[in-house]
Amino acid sequence: MSRTVVIAGVGPGLGASVARRFVDEGCRVALFARSESYIDDLAEELNDDDGDNGGEALAVPTDLADPESIESGFETVREAFGPVDVLVNHASGGSWKGLLELSLEEFERALDVSARGAFLCSQEAVGDMLDGDGGTVIFTGATSAVRGRGGALAFSSAKFAARGMAQSMARELGPRGIHVAHVVIDGGILPPTREVESPEKYLDPDAITDSYWHLVEQDESAWTLELDLRPHVEEF
């Protein structure tokens, strides 16, 4: 079954890995990000792969802090691929500052991207899902979504907000055939562009992506609300 997927917030790490896996599974994947050159290159790479499963990628330059940009992005997706079946709310932001160093503008920017952006993307995608055969909404969370991190007030606040949104949406939309899941990434993700001293202490983005695809494929009799992922060597 081919699905139309929006990944809201695509960078060279986990976002690119999710896009690659979903295209490999035959999905039509829209890549939302402000960095037009990066998502153009990624879409070209994914479309140049030799897979014959019908998967396809589309770069959709989108500012996830701008409601009009989000609306326009979803219109572009529908024109190219049709209604949305899967949404991955992956964007996040926040200055790594504490209470007294953080400006109001920085605080609001974090909420605009991680919380308001996810809210607006969810409204757009869920409208399609309710008109169709249901669908899946996945939120990429973090350790800071379950316990606040010192020196990261804006990031933690925004991630807490997104987690609450996911929980509320799951209870509202589950009975209507829409699976909403929140994934806690409890650790650092292995960076794709640099070497690290102890790679075993990081989560492999491709392994995380396996879990994302499993959430999409889950039978409705046993849906996951929250999935907690961490490296096996990390103390907790």
Q: Is residue 156 part of a domain?
A: yes
Q: Is residue 235 part of a domain?
A: no
Q: Is the pLDDT of residue 50 over 80?
A: no
Q: Is residue 217 part of a domain?
A: yes
Q: Is residue 205 part of a domain?
A: yes
Per-residue pLDDT, 200:
77
CATH of the domain at 46: 3.40.50.720
* Range 91-129 burial, b when 16+ CB lie within 10 A, else e: bbbbbebeeeebeeebbebbbbbbbbbbbbbbebbbebb
Res. 201 pLDDT band, cuts 50 70 90: confident
Res. 52 pLDDT band, cuts 50 70 90: low
First to last CA, the chain: 39
Task: Quick: pLDDT tens for 71-88.
Answer: 999 999 999 999 999 999
Domain range enclosing 38: 4-229
Average pLDDT over all residues of the chain: 92
Q: Is residue 236 part of a domain?
A: no
Res. 110 pLDDT band, cuts 50 70 90: very high
Per-residue pLDDT, 236:
47
Task: Quick: pLDDT tens for 205-219.
Answer: 999 999 999 999 999
* 61 beta partners: 33
Q: How many domains does the chain have?
A: 1
Q: Is residue 133 part of a domain?
A: yes
Task: Quick: pLDDT tens for 119-174.
Answer: 999 999 999 999 999 999 999 999 989 898 888 999 999 999 999 999 999 999 99
Label each residue of the chain as H, E or C: CCCEEEEECCCCCHHHHHHHHHHHCCCEEEEEECCHHHHHHHHHHHHHCCCCCCCEEEEEECCCCCHHHHHHHHHHHHHHHCCCCEEEECCCCCCCCCCCCCCHHHHHHHHHHHHHHHHHHHHHHHHHHHHCCCEEEEEEEEHHHCCCCCCCHHHHHHHHHHHHHHHHHHHHHHHHCEEEEEEEECCCECCCCCCCCCHHHCECHHHHHHHHHHHHHCCHHHCCCEEEECCCCCCC
Q: Is residue 10 part of a domain?
A: yes
Res. 193 pLDDT band, cuts 50 70 90: confident
Q: Is residue 24 part of a domain?
A: yes
pTM, full prediction:
0.94
